[in-house]
Structure 1
């Protein structure tokens, strides 16, 4: 029983397992917070600035697809890690074709992970900019003059960020109800969502770095196992010759 437990423990790719947990948690938090943050942004532009952002609904669906794809990728890399760990590697990659397939699969996942790493770094840059914008919005809302309803929040100096047909009065937030919607209901909540999404994005990037290290190690293990297998085959071929030579010497 103890030997079986020890054998099972040695077959678990702990580094890949940790990276998979980090990836799934990070992607889950990212998709949830970005979905909610995008919804708050749509409501803010609709009810405060009277702008309709139809494309945001498509972006929300993209977040769902990203979550499912990253989860599937993490499970596939975990499966590859299990095959390349411990005694499982010895059994699975015994044949030459299996070893070649294992090295190719590791190389393919290395390429995919590298591309995803670049994509998530770009997403991190985008989130930093969005979070900074909402932090500026929150700083405008924290102005005592604005909180006392003695001053409007004027976005006319940022007119380049609005569509060309936007009216100047729609770029000002003056009404008490609009100030409450803009500051309390949308900006405050959306900023929290985007901060959490940024942290989750960092977690995903860290998990992808772990994946790159694990896949590189698995590739090296499979390659070294191929050399070790060739050495074993050579030794098996030499042993009968040595035994035959020894028998001739005795007789």
Structure 2
């Protein structure tokens, strides 16, 4: 086999559908984790600088502690789905090789079908989880959109006194008033700064990344379902070929036995 034929054979064994889904998954997770982490850091700066909030001492579960927890969750998501994407690519190569080498020395086992079914169930659960993550990421986008709208309205309407109370979004408790109005200096400095605009757009990109991860999970579900069906049909075909070969061998043995009996009777 020449070099060109070898390259064509290698390219033919690549699971392109799984490869596209993996690239989309990595891109979506990278956007969500990277932009989400930076957006959370920007949110901490905005709360401390313009809303004059400070971290509480002790083990009190405040908004800053929740943001730190979300950051650790982002670290875990990045590591987990990096490994999961590799596993799905390996499963794609395994299934492609199983289909192409069906009539060779390679045998499809029941374990391979169980692994494919397990990946289908796991990917379905991950798709539901990413749907929840996407819906949750839409909340800060909505909050920052309201804040950005208030900043824009102050430049369009003179003398308008608009306020934003963090208690409306559950960031602080009811007894703690953290309100910022358009007539305050902190509000004007926040609207003029690039930090608010950057954090808002980072949350939008993180939301887009979560949506891309959902699309990748749906793509994986289609690929895994098709691969499982192909493997199942291939197993049935393998069993049919084995039974057919066995019957042909039995017929050949019967025919040989009868020929020998006739030859013995003639002699």
TM-score > 0.5 by shorter chain: yes
Residues 151, 176 of structure 1: CA spacing in aligned structure 2 closer, same or farther, 3 A cutoff? farther
* Paired residues of 1:113 and 1:208 also in contact (CA < 8 A): yes
Show structure 2 runs of 5+ residues with no match. 56-63
* RMSD of aligned Cα (Å): 2.6
Determine the structure 2 residue equivalent to 1:223.
Answer: 232
Q: For the structure 1 residues 88 and 177, does the alpha-carbon distance in structure 2 shift closer, same or farther, using more than 3 Å as the test?
A: same
Matched, 1:72 2:83: yes
| Structure 1 unmatched runs, 5+ | none
C-alpha distance after superposition, 1:187-223 (max 9, x if no partner)? 2111100111111111111110011011111111221
Matched residue, 2:164 = 155
Do 2:13 and 2:93's aligned partners in 1 also have CA atoms closer than 8 Å? Answer: yes
State the secondary structure of the residue aligned to 2:193: helix
Q: 1:190 aligns with which of 199, 207, 212?
A: 199
User: In structure 2, what is the Cα distance between the partners aligned to 1:157 and 1:207?
Assistant: 35
Q: Quick one: distance in 2 between partners of 1:36 and 1:22?
A: 21
More helix by share: 1
Task: Write out per-residue CA displacement over residues 62-117 of structure 1, whole angstroms, 9 at most, x where no aligned residue.
Answer: 1011011111111101101110014565368615xxx2111111111111111111
Deviation per CA, 1:174-198, whole angstroms, max 9, x where unpaired? 4435532355243211110011111
How many angstroms apart in 1 are the aligned matches of 2:176 and 2:157?
Answer: 26
Kindly name which structure, 1 or 2, has the bigger radius of gyration based on alpha carbons.
2
- Counterpart of 1:139 (choices 149, 155, 165) is 149
TM-score if structure 2 supplies the norm length? 0.81
2:250 is the alignment partner of 1:241: yes
Equivalent position of 2:219 in the other structure: 210
TM-score under structure 1 length normalisation: 0.86
